[in-house]
Amino acid sequence: MAVEQKKTLLCTGAMVKDLNILQDFDTRYEEAYSAWDGFYSLAARDLRFFLGDQWSEEEKRQLFQEGRSQFVFNRARRNINMVLGYQIKNRLSSVAVPIENSDQKTADQLSQLLLYVMNYGNGYKIISDCFGGALKTGWNLMSIWKDYRDDPVNGDIKFGREPFNGFILDPYLTKRDLTDCSYILRRKYLTPEHVASLLPGEERNVKQLYKLGSSRDDKFTWLPYQREATTQEMMAYNEMYIQKWKNIPMLVDMETGETLEFEVKQDEIKMFLDKYPQLRVVKRPKRYVEMHVIVNNEVMKKEINPFGLDEYPFALSTAVFEPESDQWGLKVQSLMRCMIDPQREGNQRRSQMSDILNSQINSGWLADENSVINPRSLFQSSQGKVIWRREGSQPGAVEKIQPAQVPPSMFQLQELYDRDMAEIAGINEASFGEPANAGESGVMMMLRQSAAVVNLQDIFDNLRDMQKDISKKAIKIIQTWTPEKVKRIINDEPTQEFYNSEFSKYDVTVQEGILTDTQRQMNFRQMVDIYQLTGGPQGSPITPQMLYEAAPLQGKSEINEKIQANQEQAQKQAQQQAQVQEQLLKTQSESMQAKAISDIALSKERFTRSVANMGLEDERASKAIQDRSDAALQRVKAMKELQSMDDERLLKYMNIVRMMEEGNRVKEEQIKEDDVNISMRANEAQQNQAPDMNALQQQMQGQQQAQSPQMEM
């Protein structure tokens, strides 16, 4: 019995809690709708005008009574499509950029994962859809969420677009980033199977709720399912997001200023502070978000900080948002709003001119009674018609009514309405690529187009803020993934800073990057300009390979194959040329070596010959000495013979002998001088030959060293 009572109390407590949540949902919706009611009707009218429903019900009845057609010349749609097309053509990607000296590798990993998420979840397309919805109705919400149907552990990041009639915000918000928005209510009408897939484990309860019916109520009445009767029964899937604050303890290092959130017991805090006296405990408010899922007026789920975010999983896309206005119908406006009046007047003028032109075919007749045989012939408007008058009718009994002419001022007024419609929206002919004159250059037209978009910069600035906001939230969710999934996507282990929640706040920022073909072409053009300004192939830091990789070319795979084949062929030719050059250098080297050896041999031969000549001269000198010895011997013999001579003959012979000795002495001195000259010439020849050989050897070594790197390449 006690157990049953306990269960009953628990069930009763849960029912009371769910009832409070439902009452809170009703209260917040009534509060918000009472303020935003005027906006929803105007936003629906803006959307109808864009789609071509540009006549009011009263005007339609009047045209029907007058027998006139409801012509619509929807020039406003062209203006909206031009602005949206410009954004689509110039889409920008989101990249993570490190701040100052932060970790570049971690930022690169986050950029790669962000690119994967945006491509896999079709994020950039949904950003454009939200931008287009804001241009047509005033604002849209871009949602981000985790889909656990394919990945039950980490979940896949998905994006969605919430139209103006599918959500309602706190009417007193003032910031586009939703930081001061107290609550957000959202509704979708889904099939039971879809609802069950979004609520794992609640399949049975969802099925029972579907059998009970009653999915329609008095909330979100601007949704198509609420406004049109249909036999298909769907379920109202509601989500209520409430932003709240709570005080949490935080450790503060008074010396360094570092902070750390913690949750420990009071006695443990005291022990910790005693050990580290420089620390202090302070309390600060921290934001968190509660999400309640309500299906067909039954609470199905509650979650704190869904998807790991302590903020709303939405980003707001607006066209015109003026929070200081006290009229909620004017606070949020679409770009279409300012074109409605000139578009309506243009349609009315066109309808009037068309009616005047149609009346000229048969403007009517003034006829006396019984003046024509067949009165129906007066109503005919075909060419070559015949009207038979009665015999005896008076002349002038049948006269044609002169039709009214279209005043030329109406054509001028129509042109004025068309021009006003574009100028009021901040668009001119240059926005559509129409040249001002026949001789205008393409560059001047592009400059005029860029100048024309300046009038819409506030709208594009809102778009950039929305894209950065949703990209930052995507990075926070990416940081909740396991290392295995991160490595599977980028083929690299996450860095130590990857899972630091402070890194995405202080060390990295989200900036715009290149995405569309137009911006790739601009980037390529800038690289070409830098390549030419920095010297081109002579010294530019941008290589031709970098230019080719950045070039926006079609069929790059085939071009890559051809370039690779050409590179292989060029490399083969270079190798052959290097081999020929090597052989030529080798031949020249051998020839120079042979010539050097020949010169050395000739030098040695000359040196040997000089040495032989020196020996011959020595021999000649020895022979001269011997001849002098023989001469002395002969003189001794002559002395003996002179003893028998008289004095006169003796003096004569002595003079002859003296002259002979003097001649021999001079001849001997000449021989010695010649020997010295020959030795000096031989030494000089040997010294001159040595430097030439050293220079030759150095030249050959230099050529071989220059040739070896070429062969390696």
pLDDT class of 6 with cuts at 50, 70, 90: very low
The phi and psi torsions of 417 (rounded to 5 degrees) equal -60, -45
Give pLDDT tens digits for 508-532: 888 888 775 555 666 777 788 788 8
What pLDDT was estimated at residue 10? Answer: 38
How far, CA to CA in Å, does 201 sit from each of 195, 235, 425, 522?
A: 11, 17, 51, 52
Q: Is the pLDDT of residue 579 over 90?
A: no
155, 94, 158: which is closest to 120 by C-alpha? 158
CA–CA dist 1, 9 (Å, integer)? 12
* Residue ranges in 515-555 assigned as alpha helix (H): 517-533, 544-550
Name the DSSP class of 429: G
What pLDDT was estimated at residue 223? Answer: 93
- Say if CB 380 and CB 362 are below 8 A apart: yes
- Say if CB 388 and CB 373 are below 8 A apart: yes
Which two structure tokens, joined as six digits, stand for 562? 């051809």
What pLDDT was estimated at residue 39? Answer: 95
What pLDDT was estimated at residue 709? Answer: 43
How far, CA to CA in Å, does 411 sit from each of 77, 349, 408, 415?
A: 21, 9, 5, 6
Most confident among 203-212, 249-258, 573-582 (mean pLDDT): 203-212
Give pLDDT tens digits for 457-513: 889 999 999 999 999 999 999 999 999 999 999 888 998 889 887 787 777 888 888
Return the higher-pLDDT residue of 311 and 643. Answer: 311
Q: Is the pLDDT of residue 631 over 90?
A: no
Give pLDDT tens digits for 131-179: 999 999 999 999 999 998 888 899 999 999 999 999 999 999 999 999 9
According to DSSP, the β-strands at 167-169 and 183-190 are antiparallel
pLDDT class of 2 with cuts at 50, 70, 90: very low
What pLDDT was estimated at residue 256? Answer: 79
**Planar angle of CA 64, 67, 68, nearest 5 degrees:** 85
CA–CA dist 302, 291 (Å, integer)? 6
Q: What does the domain layout of the chain look like in residue ranges?
A: 575-712
CA–CA dist 212, 665 (Å, integer)? 153
CA–CA dist 125, 129 (Å, integer)? 6
What pLDDT was estimated at residue 237? Answer: 95
What pLDDT was estimated at residue 517? Answer: 54
CA–CA dist 504, 557 (Å, integer)? 37
CA–CA dist 460, 209 (Å, integer)? 44
| CA atoms in the 13 A half-sphere facing the CB of 19 | 6
User: Strand pairing partners for 508?
Assistant: 98
- Say if CB 544 and CB 563 are below 8 A apart: no
DSSP-based three-state secondary structure for 597:
helix
What pLDDT was estimated at residue 352? Answer: 77
Instruction: Please state which of the ranges 18-22, 74-78, 640-644, 658-662 shows the lowest mean pLDDT.
Output: 640-644
DSSP-based three-state secondary structure for 186:
strand
How far, CA to CA in Å, does 5 sit from each of 9, 12, 17, 18, 262?
A: 6, 10, 18, 20, 38
What pLDDT was estimated at residue 143? Answer: 96
What pLDDT was estimated at residue 129? Answer: 96
Q: Is the pLDDT of residue 439 over 60?
A: no
pLDDT class of 710 with cuts at 50, 70, 90: very low
CA–CA dist 73, 348 (Å, integer)? 10
Query: Long-range contacts of range 696-705, CB-CB < 8 Å, 24 or more positions apart?
Result: 696/592, 696/593, 696/596, 699/592, 700/589, 700/592, 700/593, 703/585, 703/588, 703/589, 704/585, 704/589
Identity of residue 353: M
- To which residue do tokens 């290149």 refer? 514
What pLDDT was estimated at residue 705? Answer: 54
Average pLDDT over residues 315-344: 93
- Say if CB 439 and CB 354 are below 8 A apart: no
Residue 291 makes CB contacts below 8 A (sequence gap 6+) with 239, 240, 241, 301, 302, 303, 304, 306
DSSP-based three-state secondary structure for 553:
coil
Q: Is the pLDDT of residue 317 over 50?
A: yes
pLDDT class of 594 with cuts at 50, 70, 90: confident
* Residue ranges in 285-397 assigned as alpha helix (H): 328-331, 340-359
CA–CA dist 168, 26 (Å, integer)? 12
Most confident among 23-27, 223-227, 541-545, 605-609 (mean pLDDT): 23-27
Q: Is the pLDDT of residue 82 over 50?
A: yes
Query: Mean pLDDT across the chain, nearest whole number?
Result: 79
Q: Is the pLDDT of residue 382 over 60?
A: no
DSSP-based three-state secondary structure for 333:
strand
What is the 3-class SS of 670-687, one letter each residue? HHHHHHHHHHHHHHHHHH
Q: Would you mind telling me the total number of residues written for the chain in this entry? A: 713
**Planar angle of CA 148, 154, 157, nearest 5 degrees:** 65
H or E, element range at 641:
helix 556-642
Percentage of the chain modeled with pLDDT above 70: 72
CA–CA dist 318, 134 (Å, integer)? 5
Residue 397 makes CB contacts below 8 A (sequence gap 6+) with 367, 368, 371, 389
Give pLDDT tens digits for 198-245: 998 899 999 999 888 766 888 999 999 888 877 778 899 999 999 999
- To which residue do tokens 């849209």 refer? 140
pLDDT class of 713 with cuts at 50, 70, 90: very low
pLDDT class of 573 with cuts at 50, 70, 90: confident
What pLDDT was estimated at residue 11? Answer: 46
Percentage of the chain modeled with pLDDT above 90: 31
* Residue 122: other Cβ atoms inside 10 A: 13
Return the higher-pLDDT residue of 440 and 576. Answer: 576
Q: Is the pLDDT of residue 7 over 50?
A: no
Query: Long-range contacts of range 108-115, CB-CB < 8 Å, 24 or more positions apart?
Result: 109/486, 109/490, 109/492, 109/494, 109/495, 109/498, 110/475, 110/478, 110/498, 110/504, 110/508, 112/489, 112/490, 113/478, 113/486, 113/489, 113/490, 114/471, 114/474, 114/475, 114/478
Per the confidence metrics, is the pTM higher than 0.75? no
